[in-house]
Copies of this chain bind each other. A is one copy, B any other.
Amino acid sequence: MSETVHPKAREKTLFKAPPIGEQERMVEAILFASAEPVTLKDMAERMPLGCDPAEAVAYLRKRYEGRGVNVVRVGEAFAIRTAPDLGFLMQKETVEQRKLSRAAIETLAIIAYHQPATRAEIEEIRGVAVSRGTIDLLLELDWIRFGRRKMTPGRPVTFIVTEAFLDHFSLETARDLPGLRDLRAAGLLDSRSMPGEEDPDGEEEPLLNDDGQSELFKE
């Protein structure tokens, strides 16, 4: 109760930002009102001038620790989600999980761990052609999207995972993918092709390592 702020506080916004306790209430209201994650930028746009949503979210997050709902980070955004241990209460809300084919699951994992990944890279890893339907399904689920084209001959399109993917799998960032570090350390995420053969995208080794992967997985 102590932080409760006079409701009229916001009217003074022309002069100064509302106290942080009040900002926390605002962020709370905004996050509760949205089923989708909300970015700090979105929050700032909706809150009075001078507010610091990042700080307010940090307080809010702390407040909801251990509660029935939690504040979670999803990429660059935040959302409130029910605590995972209470899922059993929600039979009514449970969404029928689409049964994904093995090909779709593996393709998704390869994109997540190797992103940005081209179709040729996915095929190289799985050793079979990726069907159009598999990619379409993942796109439709909004778990993957097109990334930047690769700067190799043919300028192939790449795929990367989306915020909805992170949200669905309770990941804060793509860096939190289970086992990512170990896989990387073991060299299993390197793009290595058959000795004496061209790379899946027709490029020499060095190029594959630069642009794309770096920005997402910088440590």
Interface of A toward B, CB cutoff 8 Å:
1, 3-5, 7, 10, 24-30, 32-35, 45-47, 65-69, 80, 82-83, 85-86, 88-93
Cβ of A69 and Cβ of B4 under 8 Å apart?
A: no
Cβ of B92 and Cβ of A32 under 8 Å apart?
A: no
A83 to chain B, nearest CB (A): 6
Contact of A33 among B25, B33, B82 (CB under 8 A): B82
In the assembled complex, 29 residue pairs joining A and B whose CB atoms fall closer than 8 Å, in A order, are A1-B66, A3-B66, A4-B65, A4-B67, A7-B66, A7-B83, A24-B68, A25-B66, A25-B67, A25-B83, A26-B68, A26-B89, A28-B67, A28-B69, A29-B68, A29-B86, A29-B89, A29-B90, A30-B68, A32-B69, A32-B80, A33-B82, A33-B89, A33-B90, A33-B93, A34-B92, A34-B93, A46-B89, A46-B91
In angstroms, Cα B88 to Cα A124, docked, is 53
A209 to chain B, nearest CB (A): 42
Copies in the complex: 2
Which chain B positions have C-beta within 8 A of A92? Answer: 34, 45-46
Which chain B positions have C-beta within 8 A of A24? Answer: 68
Which chain B positions have C-beta within 8 A of A47? Answer: 89
In angstroms, Cα B91 to Cα A34, docked, is 11
A18 to chain B, nearest CB (A): 11
Cβ of B85 and Cβ of A7 under 8 Å apart?
A: yes
In angstroms, Cα B67 to Cα A68, docked, is 16
